[in-house]
Amino acid sequence: MTAPHAWPELRGIAYGGDYNPEQWSRETWREDVVLMREAGVNMVSVGIFSWALIEVAEGEFDFSWLDELLDLLHENGVAVDLGTPTASPPAWFFAKYPDARVIDRDGRVMGFGSRGMASHSSPAYREAIVRYADTLAARYAKHPAVVLWHVHNEYGVPVGEDHSAHSAAAFQLWLQEKYGTLDAFNSAWGTAFWGQHYTAWEHINTPAAAPSVVNPAQRLDFARFTDHQLRACYIAERDAIRVHADQPITTNFMANQSWTTDLWAWGREVDVVSDDHYLWAPDEDAHIGLAIAADLSRSVGGGKPWILMEHSTSAVNWQPRNIAKRAGEMARNSLAHLGRGADGILFFQWRAGRSGAEKFHSAMLPHAGVNSRVFREVTELGADLGRLAEVQGSTVKADVAILWDFESFWAQDLEWRPTDDLSHQERIRAFYERLWRDGITCDFALPGQDLSGYKLVIAPAQYLLTAPDADNLTRYVAGGGTLLVSYFSAVVDENDAVHPGGFLAPLRDVLGVDVEEHLPLREGQTAAVTTSAGESLKADHWQEALRLHGAAVVATYAEGPGDGEPAITRNSHGAGTGWYVSTRLDADGLNHIMHYVYADAGISPSGLPEDLEVITRHGDDATYLVAVNHGEENAVLLAAGHELLSGTAVQESFTIPAGGVAVIRSSKTRTA
Amino acid sequence: MTAPHAWPELRGIAYGGDYNPEQWSRETWREDVVLMREAGVNMVSVGIFSWALIEVAEGEFDFSWLDELLDLLHENGVAVDLGTPTASPPAWFFAKYPDARVIDRDGRVMGFGSRGMASHSSPAYREAIVRYADTLAARYAKHPAVVLWHVHNEYGVPVGEDHSAHSAAAFQLWLQEKYGTLDAFNSAWGTAFWGQHYTAWEHINTPAAAPSVVNPAQRLDFARFTDHQLRACYIAERDAIRVHADQPITTNFMANQSWTTDLWAWGREVDVVSDDHYLWAPDEDAHIGLAIAADLSRSVGGGKPWILMEHSTSAVNWQPRNIAKRAGEMARNSLAHLGRGADGILFFQWRAGRSGAEKFHSAMLPHAGVNSRVFREVTELGADLGRLAEVQGSTVKADVAILWDFESFWAQDLEWRPTDDLSHQERIRAFYERLWRDGITCDFALPGQDLSGYKLVIAPAQYLLTAPDADNLTRYVAGGGTLLVSYFSAVVDENDAVHPGGFLAPLRDVLGVDVEEHLPLREGQTAAVTTSAGESLKADHWQEALRLHGAAVVATYAEGPGDGEPAITRNSHGAGTGWYVSTRLDADGLNHIMHYVYADAGISPSGLPEDLEVITRHGDDATYLVAVNHGEENAVLLAAGHELLSGTAVQESFTIPAGGVAVIRSSKTRTA
Amino acid sequence: MTAPHAWPELRGIAYGGDYNPEQWSRETWREDVVLMREAGVNMVSVGIFSWALIEVAEGEFDFSWLDELLDLLHENGVAVDLGTPTASPPAWFFAKYPDARVIDRDGRVMGFGSRGMASHSSPAYREAIVRYADTLAARYAKHPAVVLWHVHNEYGVPVGEDHSAHSAAAFQLWLQEKYGTLDAFNSAWGTAFWGQHYTAWEHINTPAAAPSVVNPAQRLDFARFTDHQLRACYIAERDAIRVHADQPITTNFMANQSWTTDLWAWGREVDVVSDDHYLWAPDEDAHIGLAIAADLSRSVGGGKPWILMEHSTSAVNWQPRNIAKRAGEMARNSLAHLGRGADGILFFQWRAGRSGAEKFHSAMLPHAGVNSRVFREVTELGADLGRLAEVQGSTVKADVAILWDFESFWAQDLEWRPTDDLSHQERIRAFYERLWRDGITCDFALPGQDLSGYKLVIAPAQYLLTAPDADNLTRYVAGGGTLLVSYFSAVVDENDAVHPGGFLAPLRDVLGVDVEEHLPLREGQTAAVTTSAGESLKADHWQEALRLHGAAVVATYAEGPGDGEPAITRNSHGAGTGWYVSTRLDADGLNHIMHYVYADAGISPSGLPEDLEVITRHGDDATYLVAVNHGEENAVLLAAGHELLSGTAVQESFTIPAGGVAVIRSSKTRTA
């Protein structure tokens, strides 16, 4: 089913936030809409936690306050993203259906009093969410305020896996459907190991706590099943809404901050991708994590504009130390999202809530009220976004793809890997950060998709790689592409079974090398590699014993267990080139290597200052340089056109002040 | 009901310890009473863990051994503090009433084999404790040995919260009684947040493990409920005893080492406060922690003499490293307690037990026997206390109060606060330690009590402050008092809801400032503040964005997110002064600031050496300077009178040797 | 019942590994046997995880594939160590008997999907294992391939304790049998403490999670019970096999890497000891840990040859960082085991498994295949072991014994000891390492056994010492032996009750000293001791206040709480000498002290380089010097005879290259 509308009926960039008026009096509602207008808000998300106040008893709905609210918003020119509150069923639901509660790996029954969905496999829950979505959509499908539907909230957070009896029964059915026969199932799970052979589907359980490590194939399939069940809940709600409504339907992802959902599959089910993103305070360069999330949101949506459904005006409340944003930071964050394809900039939440677990989360209207730095900046941002209406609908293009495969990450994160120092997130970030600092925009991609449009494909952490996907990468290189593969890749197949022929065997032809043995380093141990150009590069955590099958050695281990043996290789294959990096290089080492790789791929760094983030959005008639200056010095961008925020013409260059932002409608750029 | 007697019928200072003769033979009993006489013991606590050996089956009591024991003690001049053993029900009780077992947050059913009370909400438990207390009191109310009743042991330790079905049912009733209507209840708990609205009392559960953070109002009320249930158990036992007996009744607190009981409320229910205190070995100045516990014990008892019911002669057994006390340390600890109002100095326990979990806990009579440093010092201390009989009944007076509010601490300790670096205990200790080093005696107080008798009131950590209590503080200052408020205070009301108007709003008038935003620092980050006098003071962990409403700026942030903005303020209000300190100063910084504050309050430091602790007890006819020298050098105290321990006259001064103690009956003191 | 055969019918040293052909095709089987011959393999362990593929439904056995396999192995000259797979019951078993699942201390029911035995007290499990063992043995007792029976796998790992209802019921019976009367039981457990008196056996539970520390006597007895139940399972299987078969029967221990089994008791039940050993990667001298395991395996078997049933060719997979072995390391490990009495060198496992939790565990035939360093070294080792056939049956002799008492270790590891810094493993290792570096071979021994054959007995950590065992040590010294006792020894009796008279009281006569008080140091605190010879030795963690009863003071504390008091003492008792060391000396300090002790005992260090490990095996007609050079330099060993691996005659000396090994058939040795 395709959505009749692919984008909310809004003019320009969407701006607003979650709005939870059920916590406030009618007087406050009226104050809110006045202030929303003042702040330039044109859309708010409503109803995300309202189940208990709408369906007041099973099957008994009271929409009176919501009727009033939607009318009020509409009268004041604020459109509505209408939520289904199914992430937080009411107390009466759990009292009536205690078996719908989630059970964790340790057998703990998750209680009421917080939030988080019920068992995604509970029949009672499934019935209740469809009833709610159907009733809600029937009532408001034609309401003029409603421009978007917002199903549930952050699927998979705070709980994903469920070990209840409902989940176990559904898991058995899911496995039976996937594998057909017990023989195929036993083979895929490798149950001959440790005597785990099954003779009946009903003997299979969820991978709950066990005396030792649970079968990794079981855990991997349970991760797939969990993702499937969550998505089945979404689809059930979406389809119930679609019967009545033709506005686009979405659910808010958590891009690179949640790991229970395969966003590639989810991207196919939503009409428009929306994402929640929060800076991770211990990360001194948290804006690079932001860029990853934004690029991933764009990529799973196939490059189409997407909505930043939630971020924060200042501090959040759930990190060890919740650092407040400083002056200008919220605008920089917002514009960076916009530059990477977001056509909506929304916040959690409009008005800070006085009670509950998130009272210390910042908001557009903070506890301190309108006379505050935050509200002043919110109002300025609203005005700025109003000036960027023409950017809406333009897109981002990239020459480089980084492979991002949730199934591989799930598999790699299981227990008993060669060393605790392995981290797919760390390697993704390292290669991404290298590109970010070099001013090179990238997409994320799956190893099995058509990659021919990219000049360079990087696989920082492709632990699980199926044989067909390995063939796809091989064909990509044969066709002229440049492929860089980092260590601990192509280790296992789709069942977490080591590839016949050993580690890296499926990429042996394209890379001209395979891996005889893993050589993890001791805690704190570092080791240098020496390039054929004589450079000494620092590395740590990991080495591998490589066997050459035609590749040229670009760097050799100068220390550690691999001392004297090949460390980094380059292989010509067909019309392209395959690189293999078998150790963890630091930022400087990666810099050296990537410049050789860029040359093979025919791309080059932007030459801009490292702290000046510039992304280009391509419209039908113009391009837009979105520039964000994260540095403490002014930065000059060579460009010609029109700076939209200040409304000034740009002849040759534009100076972005320290901490400032700019959007230049332009047709050409050079570095300063 | 008022106790007919407010103090045990004993001559002079009570001295002794827990006595568990059920672990020993009759021969050992006879040896014990001889040694007790030798050591100057005049009271022992008996029967605290004897339930299974007295009520040998349900309703079947065998008092024969206890009869014999009490007679033996009485014949030897040792009075008895008679315990009810309800902290440790027998095996038969749990076998018959398995549902009386405590269940923790994670759903674990707490097993037998250790100690710790049964579910405080279990009807079977409630019935059993009243039956035991009634039977015990009926038998021994008139026994001449019994001078005090000791109900239970350390309520709330080792377990406080209980998540059993009995607890949940009692919690529902307690809430219904507190709130009356579901509307009032839903409003207080802020259940509109995260969709937690309740439509029936019986849907409410204890705040057990949930997928994410549980409603903080729910947790706060559950803490209040837990305290209430524990106290209800105490009251039930006390009232059962009172029917038969007119000796005073107590239960032993754990002052600042347990956080499940609101000792202000408990203080109103006991005839005499008694406290257990153990040095915390990692604290190099553990004697300051001791002083806090002692001052708190005195304060919750309204300033009346109290009993140190347990401390240790040397090492305890439950800390990571159980450091033995060195020569003289036990005497210093004992005299410090006495100086702060204790008229009884008792230990856990008389004779070291050979078996069980506490065999490595020191005792008055250690495993090494009478030929030991510990027993020799115990005997010396007994003699010394005998010389201090006249001190009994004298009291301690203070010009300064530090606010100590268990409800606020419970609320602040919940999850998702702005930073993990916030610690109410740390701030209380910092300000207390400043006063201790300056030789200024203080009480602890509640923010809602009459404070007019104090020259200075310090609120180091008053996160939760109700509007009426804020009014009380405001009136205190208006009436001429000096109030110092430290950061993260007056943030929420009694339901853990942020005050309307924002952080610090209820104290805006009296302090002339409020808080626009919290600015926690990153891990390890420090930042200086500069005073208007030009001093640079180090601080860390926390800054705030202040908005001035009339206060004068005393210091400004020189670094960090608040750079250039106000950090410390002073405000004249009515006849008094309100100070606000918005960052965490180190000891030196606090020293600078407090001397300005002392000046406002009209008080001054003692001028004594920092390691010489001197407290004054005021009797009807004399005052007693209790001096404890914690330093490694002799210290001279200018005083005139009579040193009671050595029995020497003091003309002008008295030298307290390094590590030594002295008690001078005196009428005037000056610093050396 | 004595085994008709005490050693498998094999020529020379056993060589091979676990073989799990159920994971592979018939083609692979045929490749395997060819490669086994190439590698010199003469025995493999089969069937250890095959339950589900043999007993395909309850009581229904399908031996067809196993028939085929045993015939194939026999035809190819590979003998079989035939396993019972009872460590891993099938899915159908748990589906039918859910009450046979293990429950942990926290009440978690251990799920299927991993491995680990069912409840060792479950009647259904007991019945099933006997049925399986009986059926298997009946079928294969006469099969010519079968030379050894391998019951179960690593008893007590990954789970030992079981808190299920079956376990609790069995525990009650076990206690009743042990103690006879409730009075005796209550007395032994010291239940007068904390009110734990029991009036019925059925009120006793397993020591599950409780509000505070559980009675240590209860925990100690539960450890004994757990060991007993595991062994009862072994005996039931062994006896079922013995009815049919006369080959030797074993089960594989985990020597010093598992703590749930009392290997002295197990050693009496097996026909031949077999052990699994894995290097602990964070230990830079992991080969010393290996030596401890090997010496312990030999000792619990009474000095007879034993089998190294599992070790690894390279990395394991379950440690935080799984470090690959480097060239030659596998051979060094193998020869060190052989030198210490192993007559079989086997691995986990023959061929690396593609699936499951152990796919990253190295194997004889790695994922990388035959063209690999590992397979080449495996083949070389097979050839080397073939050259050592004549060593089989020779034995190891020692002048020194280190006490190793599992019951004492169990007791010491319980909660609430004087300091977290106490570690029996650390002290055992420290004294063992001192001997290892001095080239002195040692046995392990129990404190109650005949020790008269040893010149020196060391008790590094004999926390629990019964009075009869103390008498045995006293008699040993009186008869001329030298005894060294380290701190925190002879503290408690068999019920974890402190000895009457205090710490060390049972050894007061023989050592001439006892302990008045423990003086643990603060975290990170160090303190020197000064010997009577004026040496200053560094120490940390622990001091004791000693009371002399005749001993001479050899060293005195120069710092810390014991400053100026005795630290190390020496006492003449009868014809021998008793040493007491009351603090934790570093390696250098131990070196100083041990050389005085060696002199008393009349033994002397080997004088060889520290990294050259040389152990002597004594045959009927020859001795064999097994030399392993762990160093980075060649080492010269003065010897005459014949080096067996190279087949060269040795006139006066033989040079073992850096990292190399040698075995010299010889009649005399001198140091270089």
3-state secondary structure B189-224: HCCCHHHCCCCCHHHCCCCCCCCCCCCHHHHHHHHH
B588 or A225, higher pLDDT: A225
Look at strands C536-540 and C482-486 and give their pairing.
unpaired
Nearest to B85 among C195, C217, C520 (CB): C195
Cβ atoms within 10 Å, residue C75: 10
DSSP letter assigned to residue C12 = S
8 Å CB contact between A465 and A325? no
Q: Is the pLDDT of residue A411 over 50?
A: yes
Which positions ≥6 away from A115 have C-beta within 8 Å? Answer: A49, A87, A88, A158, B194, B195, B211, B212
pLDDT at A671: 43
Nearest to B368 among C210, C502, C522 (CB): C502
Q: Is the pLDDT of residue A321 over 70?
A: yes
Adjacent-strand bridge partners of A579: A484, A570
Adjacent-strand bridge partners of C72: none
Q: Are residues B207 and A359, on separate chains, in Cβ contact within 8 Å?
A: no
Kindly list the residues from chain B whose CB atom is less than 8 angstroms away from the CB atom of residue C548.
none
DSSP letter assigned to residue A280 = -
Q: Output the DSSP codes for A170-181.
A: HHHHHHHHHHSS
Round to whole Å and give the CA distance between C225 and C222.
Answer: 5
Kindly list the residues from chain A whose CB atom is less than 8 angstroms away from the CB atom of residue C84.
none
C535 φψ region: left (φ > 0), alpha (ψ -120 to 50), beta (else): beta
pLDDT tens digits along C422-440? 999 999 999 999 999 999 9
Lowest mean pLDDT among A34-38, A236-240, B109-113: B109-113
Average pLDDT, chain C: 96
Q: Is the pLDDT of residue A171 over 80?
A: yes
Round to whole Å and give the CA distance between C515 and C492.
Answer: 13
Which positions ≥6 away from B173 have C-beta within 8 Å? Answer: none
8 Å CB contact between A95 and B200? yes
Nearest to C85 among A107, A195, A498 (CB): A195
- Strand A274-276: give its sheet, edge to edge: A249-250, A146-151, A79-84, A43-46, A14-19, A342-347, A306-310, A274-276, A252-253
Q: Are residues B194 and A89, on separate chains, in Cβ contact within 8 Å?
A: no
Adjacent-strand bridge partners of A612: A629
pLDDT at C159: 86
Round to whole Å and give the CA distance between A123 and A78.
Answer: 37
The enclosing H or E element of C515 equals: strand C513-520
8 Å CB contact between B395 and B626? no
DSSP letter assigned to residue A522 = P
8 Å CB contact between B530 and B577? no
8 Å CB contact between B253 and B274? yes
Please give the average per-residue pLDDT across C265-289, as a whole number: 97
Average pLDDT, chain B: 96
Nearest CA in chain B to C190: B355
Round to whole Å and give the CA distance between B630 and B439.
Answer: 13
| C502 CA to centre of own chain | 32
Round to whole Å and give the CA distance between A614 and A439.
Answer: 7
Q: Is the pLDDT of residue A672 over 60?
A: no
Share of chain B above pLDDT 90, in %: 96
Q: In Å, how far is B193's CA from the nearest CA of chain A?
A: 6
Instruction: Name the band, by pLDDT with cuts 50, 70 and 90, for residue A285.
Output: very high
Cβ atoms within 10 Å, residue A26: 12
Instruction: Name the band, by pLDDT with cuts 50, 70 and 90, for residue A6.
Output: confident
Q: Is the pLDDT of residue C501 over 90?
A: yes
pLDDT tens digits along A73-93? 999 999 999 999 999 999 999
CA geometry: angle B430, B431, B437, nearest 5 deg = 90
Q: Using CA atoms in the order A72, A75, A78, A84, what is the torsion angle rounded to 10 degrees? A: 40
Q: Is the pLDDT of residue A669 over 90?
A: no
Q: Is the pLDDT of residue B373 over 70?
A: yes
8 Å CB contact between C76 and C31? no
pLDDT at A4: 58
Lowest mean pLDDT among C155-159, C234-238, C286-290, C550-554: C155-159
Q: Are residues C194 and B356, on separate chains, in Cβ contact within 8 Å?
A: yes
Kindly list the residues from chain C whose CB atom is less than 8 angstroms away from the CB atom of residue B90.
195, 197, 199
CA geometry: angle A535, A539, A542, nearest 5 deg = 135
Chain A interface test: which of C25, C27, C50, C112 (most A C-beta within 10 Å): C112
Look up residue A367 and give its amino acid: H
Round to whole Å and give the CA distance between B130 and B123.
Answer: 11
Instruction: Name the band, by pLDDT with cuts 50, 70 and 90, for residue C4.
Output: low
Q: Is A651 exposed, middle or buried (0-12, 13-18, 19+ CB in 10 A)?
A: exposed
Tell me which chains share at least 3 CB pairs under 8 Å with chain C.
A, B
Please give the average per-residue pLDDT across C174-186, as a whole number: 98
Instruction: Name the band, by pLDDT with cuts 50, 70 and 90, for residue C256.
Output: confident
Kindly list the residues from chain B whose CB atom is less than 8 angstroms away from the CB atom of residue C522.
281-282, 321, 323
Please give the average per-residue pLDDT across A165-180, as a whole number: 98
A586 or A392, higher pLDDT: A392
pLDDT at B4: 58
Instruction: Name the band, by pLDDT with cuts 50, 70 and 90, for residue B669.
Output: very low
Catalytic residue among C55, C161, C310, C329: C310
Q: In Å, how far is B319's CA from the nearest CA of chain C?
A: 7
Interface check for B193 against chain A (CB to CB < 8 A): the answer is yes
pLDDT at C668: 47
Catalytic residue among C154, C544, C565, C643: C154
DSSP letter assigned to residue A325 = P
Say if residue C447 is preceded by a cis peptide, omega within 30 of 0: no
Instruction: Name the band, by pLDDT with cuts 50, 70 and 90, for residue B89.
Output: very high
Round to whole Å and give the CA distance between B220 and B207.
Answer: 10
Please give the average per-residue pLDDT across C105-121, as a whole number: 93
What A502-505 contacts at long range (C-beta under 8 Å, 24+ apart), as own/partner pairs, is: A502/C366, A502/C367, A502/C368, A502/C369, A503/A544, A503/C367, A503/C368, A504/A580
Catalytic residue among B161, B237, B310, B643: B310
pLDDT tens digits along A144-159? 999 999 999 999 999 8
Cβ atoms within 10 Å, residue B202: 12
CA geometry: angle A144, A146, A149, nearest 5 deg = 155
pLDDT tens digits along A567-592? 999 999 999 999 999 999 988 899 99
C532 φψ region: left (φ > 0), alpha (ψ -120 to 50), beta (else): alpha
| Residue A154 annotated as catalytic | yes
Round to whole Å and give the CA distance between A320 and B523.
Answer: 9
User: For helices B182-189 and B165-179, what crossing angle results, to 10°?
Assistant: 100
pLDDT at C363: 98
Round to whole Å and give the CA distance between B437 and B430.
Answer: 11
| Residue B284 annotated as catalytic | no
Look at strands C513-520 and B513-520 and give their pairing.
unpaired
pLDDT at B577: 98
User: For helices B123-140 and B216-242, what crossing angle results, to 10°?
Assistant: 30
Q: Output the DSSP codes for B349-363.
A: -SB--SSSTTTTS--
Round to whole Å and give the CA distance between B460 and B433.
Answer: 12
Instruction: Name the band, by pLDDT with cuts 50, 70 and 90, for residue A531.
Output: very high
DSSP letter assigned to residue C160 = -
Q: Is the pLDDT of residue C288 over 80?
A: yes
8 Å CB contact between B564 and A392? no
Round to whole Å and give the CA distance between C626 and C643.
Answer: 10
Q: Is the pLDDT of residue C5 over 80?
A: no
Tell me which chains share at least 3 CB pairs under 8 Å with chain A.
B, C
Lowest mean pLDDT among A9-13, A325-329, A566-570: A9-13
Q: Are residues B111 and C208, on separate chains, in Cβ contact within 8 Å?
A: yes
Look up residue A465 and give its amino acid: L
Adjacent-strand bridge partners of C351: C365
8 Å CB contact between A267 and A273? yes
Prediction pTM value: 0.97
